[in-house]
Every structure is written in C-alpha cells, then in structure tokens.
Amino acid sequence: MTALLETHGVSKYYGEFRALDDVSISLQEGELVSIVGPNGAGKTTLVNVLTGLLKPSAGNVFFMGSDIAGVGPVLLAERGLARAFQLIQIFPRLSVAETISTAVITRQRKRWKLFTSFAADAAVVARVKEIAEIFGLHSRLHVTAATLSQGEKKLLDVASAFALDPQVILLDEPTSGVSTAEKHRIMKTMIAAAKKSGVKSILLVEHDMDLIAAYSNRIIALSEGKVLADLPPKQFFADTTVVETVVGKRRAH
C-alpha cells in the first residue's frame, strides 16, 4: 500500500547541528499516528518539514506520491495536506464564523474577497455552518473567537484546518492548555469529524501519553533527531527504555 505521507532519509542541518538525522516515517490511510519525544528531539522541525515550511538538507518528503519538500503550507493545503493553524491568535477579533470562513474562502480559491463580507456568499455560509455543526460550535458562530473557552478555541483551530478539506491533517498539540476531561472530548470530536469529513489520516504531535495511548494506531518516538521507535501503543508502552527516554520514569505500564 502506498503511504499518504512519508519521508525517506530526511535530515535537517543548522550548521554542525543536526535537528533531524536520517528520518524515515510513513502515514497510511486510516491511521492516526502520534509523534512524541522529549524537548529538542526534532518534533517541531519534522512538522515544519512535513508541512512544507522547511526544506530538508537531505532526503525526500512525499505526499500522495509527489515530492513536496519545501513547497509551502498554502500550496500543500491545496493539494490536501493541512496543518491546524492558530488563526485566533492571528485574528482574535474575528467571530467564529469569520475565522472558519477564512479557511473556506481559501479552499474555494476566493482569496480576492477574503476580507469582504463572507455573508454575501451562500456557498461559503453553508460550508461554515456545516463545519461549525461538526465541531459543536454552531451556537457560537457570532461570538468573538478571543472570548471562547480554551477548549472551544482549540476546536476552532482544528475546525479551520478541516475547512480546507484535507486528505491528511497534522495536529500540533491540539489539546494543550485544556483540562483532562476537555482533552478527551476534543480528541473524540476531532476523530469523529475526520470520519465525517473524509479525512483519510491524522498525524498528531502530542505530549499527553494518556491521549496517545488511547487514540494512536502507531507511535513514532524521536530522540536527538533520530527515530527511536515506530510501534503500536501496546508495544511502545511495553518498551521501558523507549518510554523513559521520551517521557521519563513517571508513567508506569
């Protein structure tokens, strides 16, 4: 089976420092794969390489069979790989509807009217309402994004990425800063939304090991820029050396 997203021997150098060193990973259709690792392991660099923000110093990045190294997140989103971007930090005064509409308009290539009234476009309005309904934000459409609860803000970030109609979505710490109960609600909402929206696979960067254990099909652990492990959850958590390297000795399985 051809991987939807994969890297072959990807390295990223900053002078003598190797942020990534010969990293080869893959994401198959139907999978939720989590990327974990201690601070400085290379997670952020890998995400930036996968989403076209950084071009690798060596190796290749393929999405649906095409080399996407360094193409940039906008073109990549048009091809079907989207990353949850924190629009509410960029445009905190926009309403929920306006925030989602920026992604819908971009997807429909109506950039020329990005800052005009989206309410005049029936197709955009319909899609915004549909996405808001999927994410439980339908009653918050006219609320200013900055005034939402932390959990609602996280859902809005992810909803905006889903509005790009991706085949694959990359979620970078989508539950950070919310309560444990909220984290599971957000994860369940995202997974249900993915199935409903036709998203084929999810790549998750997360530090909460309980979430990773509960929702991952596979876990890829990075350490010092290298792939330390690529395992299903049961085998991953059974490997005490890997777990201790990634999260310390606090978690027992």
The domain segmentation of the chain, as residue ranges, is: 1-80+167-175+199-253, 84-165
Q: What is the pLDDT of residues 123-154, one digit of tens each?
A: 888 999 999 999 999 999 999 999 999 889 98
Whole-prediction pTM:
0.88
- Please report where in the chains the tokens 């509807």 appear, as a residue: 97
Q: What is the pLDDT of residue 86?
A: 61
Band of the pLDDT at 87, cuts 50, 70, 90?
Answer: low
Lowest mean pLDDT among 107-111, 160-164, 194-198, 241-245: 107-111
Alpha-carbon radius of gyration of the chain: 18
Could you give the CA distance from residue 209 to residue 175 in angstroms, rounded to a whole number?
12
Q: What is the pLDDT of residue 102?
A: 85
Using CA atoms, how far residue 40 sits from 35, 45, 136, in Å, is 13, 9, 35
Q: What is the pLDDT of residues 24-83, one digit of tens each?
A: 999 999 999 999 999 889 999 999 999 888 999 999 999 999 999 888 888 888 899 998
Write the CATH number of the domain with boundaries 1-80+167-175+199-253.
Answer: 3.40.50.300
Could you give the CA distance from residue 66 to residue 77 in angstroms, rounded to a whole number?
14
Give the H/E segment covering residue 196.
helix 180-197
Query: What percentage of the chain exceeds 90 in pLDDT?
Result: 60
Q: What is the pLDDT of residues 5-27, one digit of tens each?
A: 999 999 999 999 999 999 999 99
| Contact between residue 103 and residue 161 where contact means Cβ atoms under 8 Å apart | yes
Could you give the CA distance from residue 36 to residue 14 in angstroms, rounded to a whole number?
22
For residue 85, the 8-state DSSP code is: -
CA 166 to chain CA mean position, Å: 11
Q: What is the dihedral of CA 233, 234, 240, 245, to 10 degrees?
A: 0
Give φ, ψ of 51 to 5 degrees. Answer: -100, 15
Could you give the CA distance from residue 160 to residue 128 in angstroms, rounded to a whole number?
9
Q: What is the pLDDT of residue 118?
A: 54
Could you give the CA distance from residue 100 to residue 160 in angstroms, rounded to a whole number?
5
Band of the pLDDT at 91, cuts 50, 70, 90?
Answer: confident
Band of the pLDDT at 175, cuts 50, 70, 90?
Answer: confident
Count of CB atoms within 10 A of residue 47's CB? 19
